Structures are given as C-alpha cells and as structure tokens.
Structure 1
C-alpha cells in the first residue's frame, strides 16, 4: 500500500511502475503465443534458465508473428512481398526505439536494447523470408549454407548473444548449429516441400545423381538416386553438428544442457532418416519421446564436462563457414550489450527437463494420428525447427 501511495505521489515512480507492468504483460502475451502456437517450442524453452527464457520468448514471438504476417495476412499488404516490406518497417521502428503498439514488437525492442542485438541479424532473417517468397534456387551446398545462415544461423547467433556469448569462435559454432538443423529439416521434409512446389536439395547434387530437378519436382518420388542425395546432405549436417559441439563448452554452464539436447535430438532425426533408407518423400522421420528422454539425459551429462578435448585430426577452432562470416562479424562487435552471468548448473534443470519431457509426451499422444504435411503454396517455417512446430 505504501509503495502504491508513493507511486501515485511521484510521477516518475508511477511511470516506472507502469512501464514495468507493461513489459510484464507484453512478455506474458509472448508466452501465451508460444504456449498455444508452438507447444514443442514452449516445452523446449522450459529447460532454459529463466534469464534466457524470457528474452528468447520475445524473440520467438516476433519471428512467429512475422511468419503469420507473410503466410496468413499477406492480403492486408497487397501480397507476401508487401507483408515483408511491412515487417522491415516494423523492425526499423524497433531499432529506433519506437516499436509498433504490438506486444511482441515492444518485447523485442526491450531485448534489442538490453542485449545490443545487431540489426544485421534480424535483417538477414527477413532476407531469408524474401528468398522463400521469390522461390530462390539452390544449386550447391554453399547456396544452401547461405539460406540456412539467414533463416537459422541468425537465430543461433541471437540466442548465443542472449546467453552472454559474443566470442567469435563460439558465435561461429552457434551459427553452424543453426545451419546444421536447417539442413536436417530439409533432408527430413523433401516430400512435404515437393508437395508445396519447393525444392531445397542442391540441384547440382541431383543432376550428379542422374535426376532432373525440375522434372522430379513435377512428379516427386523416392528412388535410390534421391536417397544418395539425402544421405549426402545428412553427412554435411553431421559435420556441422560436430563443429557445433566445440562451441557448447563456451556457453554458460546452465545453458549447455538445453543446447546440447537440441544438437543431439536434431542429429538423431538424421539417424531416423537413415534407418528408413533415406526415404523422406513417403514418410517423415521423427524421434520418439523415449529416445528424446535418453538424449536429454546424455546432454545433461555431457554439458557437465567443461573442457572440450581435441579430436584426432580435427581443429578445435575451424574457420567459420563462408556463408556465416557476416553474421559472426556483426555479432562480435562490442556494442555494449548486457552480459549474462555465467552460473553453475541450474539446480532446477532436472525438474524442468522432466516437466518438458512430460509435455512432449502429451503433445505426441494427441498428435500421433495427425499428418504434419504442409499444404501446397505455404512457405517453409523459418528458423531452427520452425516456429509452428
């Protein structure tokens, strides 16, 4: 009561209280969006420490609403490219400190200011959206790296910044983890993408395997030749997962289990694809809840070991992929952002992990008979595992 009276008597205190309340409500709105729009993402976020979970939620909310603006509300802006231009304008306002009166925009503005998130990272993410909208062709693995850098490497970089890591090598590994996950997504979703008229497999690789990419897209089907292309992409992803492992030890201890778990679970999707003969046209690989449980336990144990031992024949600090260098350069500029405290292992990680696994199990049970195929004409959900999953 005394605090309330003091706030009402002092306009400055009242203003600060009002701002704090609005920020709390904005974050709650972002959490509600995540809880209803992406139950898997919501569950995964629960294994992050609270100081990281809140800004990560704000980042998620903006990206999710950006997807919706382009995919669902484009007619309000004269089409998808008009919607993208609208998003670019919203992003500019965020960086000018005058965000649109949308909770997700206000929440992201707070994160941008607090952590000094470089605008180049979010600009690159929106550029990835544009590449989808303009049906960009990917002839080589390097082309695919460039795409993955924009739609997923950017998110890895921003998450590392939020966790308190701007070191160039750690940033490179964070970006490469995002690219690896995107390559896994592409290998897993070959059939879904083809039904929507999209092709992300390197076209040169398909030609080398004796497949005409354009003809195949008109009549997509599985074949041993296509399996060889998918297998080749999984090898490329695995190389990046190995590189990413080198950067996890540079993260704060309480962040390592969640990132290690994400790395292991996504790499396991590749193993599921391989067990199915690399047929991702007629089926969609997924990792069982029981296997996820085992991988999360493995992640917890691995994350407790700080030193990264040199692997035979491997450089501890390989040069970043050429496609992500611009992200690393942007992220490592000393912009005066707030550093995150490096803490010991969070005592509540086990509890949060078990809660998250339980939620994954309930989601999986409800959705077991549902098809996850994306309808024709829809754009690939952006970043990491896709905002809607």
Structure 2
C-alpha cells in the first residue's frame, strides 16, 4: 500500500509536471487515481532525468538500477520509488511494461532517429503505450482487446506530443519526425535541425502525424466501455484533452515551431463535461467491432505482457543489450575525455 506521505509527494509532482493528466486524474475513482498518480510520478521522474539531465546515459543506467531495486522490494529512499514498489506488490505489475518504458528512454539517450512512421510508433509504444498498459493493470483489466485499445491511445497521445513539440525538440537537437518523410522532399534532417522553420514541408509532416493520431484516437474509444464504469470518464477526459492539443496545432496551421499549442481552463472545463457525456452514452451503445481489432504490430508485445504476464516472452535480455551498449559508449566517451 502506498504511504500517504509518498502519495502526497507524487500528487504534487504531477500537478506541476503533467497538467493534462492531472486534470483527467481528478475524475478517476480513488482506487485507480492514487496508484495512477504514483505510476505517473515515477514515469515523470524517469522522463525528466533522461530529458533534462546533463548525462543521459548515466540517467538511464541509474533508472534501471532503481527499477531493479523496486522489483526486489528494496526501493531507493524516495517517494516515487517507494510508491512504485508498492504498486508492483499490490497489482503484480508485469516487469516487461516498465522495462519497455526504460527501453524507450534508452533510445532517447542514444539520440535515435526513426526512419519510418512505424519506427515512430515503436518508440511511442515504449514511452506512452507502456504507461497505458500499466494503467489497465491498475484498473484490474486484463482483457487483451481493452489493453490493445489503451495502447492505441498511448501511441496517439505520443504522436500528438511529437507534433506539438517539433520546434522545441529541434532546438534541443532532437528529431522524431520520420526521416523518410524528409527524403521524400529531398531534404536533409540535419539542415532542418540547424535552422528549424515552419515551411510547407514541415507543416505537412505535422499534419500527417496528427492524422495518424486521430485514426488511433478513434480506435481507442472502442476500448473505454470495456473499462470499469467509474474509470471511464477519466480515460475519456485524457483522450479528449490530448486530442484538443492536436486541434490547437492544426488551428495554428500546423506550425509547432514558432508556437506551442495549449488548451485553456475554459476549454478544459468543456472537455471534462464532454467526457462525462461520452462515458454515459458510450456505456449504453453496442460494443463497436473495432474493439476486437488486433493490436498494432508495434504494441502487440505490451498487450501480451499485460494480458498474459505468466506466458509473455521475457524481453529483459533485449533491454540489457541496449543498456550494455550505452554503458560501453559512456565508458569510451569518458576515456577519450581523460585522454
């Protein structure tokens, strides 16, 4: 069970670090909201350590050690770590899910780029759908179809984030737009990073990302009625709040370089009301056929891990190979600095 003081600290971290999730979490039932806040706090901590730290490789290696200690029941003496260890014990959280998140963060630490939209979905599966699958576990949902739709929602949210943050990422030297889209325009990605401008080509790329996100948002909606009744409004709220970010990006002409989309309090209030209506009305409608659509190929391993944790293949060796490569790269870099 999560200690009250640790839960309070996790709540404070999310209130300032993830406004959209904080707004959506307020309408989740306490039995889901409290562990969800702890989960997001640990994920936020992980993301911030890698994204904002001066040594991304060291941050990822440290996070692996912290994750390992949490699964051994001996977490680092910090609120987010203690709370996450409690979640592991209370919900039998499959280790493959947080390890997938860590794998995505390791890709960030390596500075990976993604050649195709499928590659971007692979990345999104790890840094976002893994969290969606963990949310299903917190709701005691192990139905494969519901988890697949939650993973669709995770990819859609991450694609929205990427579309919104093109300029911010470029100025930090990061690129998540598929590089084959640049090749189609006969442009060099490095030239864009050197001088990021919202020209027609970049705007079309942002629009393509948002169109894929919209497709997956629609697919994800079919899974919400399969969740516990008292959790549906919160998930609808998350879906609508993130979808509204994409709408704002489009309103800015898909220019996410000179502007950064956000939704105001009034808009959020309207969307929360819409979430309530959707939660009620969708419960009364027949289950759409798309509920049973197979998972995206990029998220299938997450669905299997969450739905059938005892039979899902172990992926720890793949993560360890990536971490070993990062450690070797870090060691080589330090030797060169010393020389």
Please tell me the TM-score bracket, short chain as reference: 0.7 to 0.9
CA contact (8 A) 2:132 2:151 kept: yes
Distance 1:154 1:289, change over 3 A: same
CA displacement 1:192-220 (0-9 Å, x = unmatched): 11111111111112222343222212111
1:255 Cα deviation (Å)? 0.8
Please tell me whether residue 143 in structure 1 is matched to residue 119 in structure 2.
yes
CA–CA distance in 2 between the matches of 1:225 and 1:72? 29
Aligned to 1:94: 70
5 Å-filtered alignment, 1:25-36, equals 25-36=5-16
Pick the structure with more helix per residue. Answer: 2
CA contact (8 A) 1:58 1:108 kept: yes
1:333 Cα deviation (Å)? 1.5
5 Å-filtered alignment, 1:109-120, equals 109-120=85-96
5 Å-filtered alignment, 1:35-74, equals 35-38=15-18, 41-71=21-51
SS in structure 2 at match of 1:137: coil
Gaps in structure 1 of 5+ consecutive residues: 1-19, 336-389
CA–CA distance in 1 between the matches of 2:214 and 2:277? 21
TM-score, length-scaled by structure 2: 0.85
Distance 1:26 1:174, change over 3 A: same
5 Å-filtered alignment, 1:288-303, equals 288-303=264-279
SS in structure 2 at match of 1:131: helix
CA–CA distance in 1 between the matches of 2:108 and 2:66? 20
CA–CA distance in 1 between the matches of 2:294 and 2:35? 29
Please tell me whether residue 157 in structure 1 is matched to residue 137 in structure 2.
no
CA contact (8 A) 1:272 1:286 kept: yes
Q: Tell which deviates more after alignment, 218-227 or 165-174.
A: 218-227
CA–CA distance in 2 between the matches of 1:334 and 1:69? 28
Aligned to 1:103: 79
5 Å-filtered alignment, 1:181-196, equals 181-196=157-172
1:148 Cα deviation (Å)? 0.3
Please tell me whether residue 243 in structure 1 is matched to residue 219 in structure 2.
yes
Distance 1:302 1:38, change over 3 A: closer
TM-score, length-scaled by structure 1: 0.75
Distance 1:318 1:108, change over 3 A: same
Please tell me whether residue 206 in structure 1 is matched to residue 194 in structure 2.
no
CA–CA distance in 1 between the matches of 2:183 and 2:284? 43
Please tell me whether residue 323 in structure 1 is matched to residue 282 in structure 2.
no
1:241 Cα deviation (Å)? 0.2
CA–CA distance in 2 between the matches of 1:242 and 1:34? 27
CA–CA distance in 2 between the matches of 1:326 and 1:137? 22
Q: Tell which deviates more after alignment, 191-200 or 204-213.
A: 204-213
Greater C-alpha radius of gyration = 1
CA contact (8 A) 2:223 2:291 kept: no
Gaps in structure 2 of 5+ consecutive residues: 311-339
Q: Tell which deviates more after alignment, 154-163 or 203-212.
A: 203-212
1:293 Cα deviation (Å)? 1.9
1:174 Cα deviation (Å)? 0.6
CA RMSD of aligned residues (A): 2.0
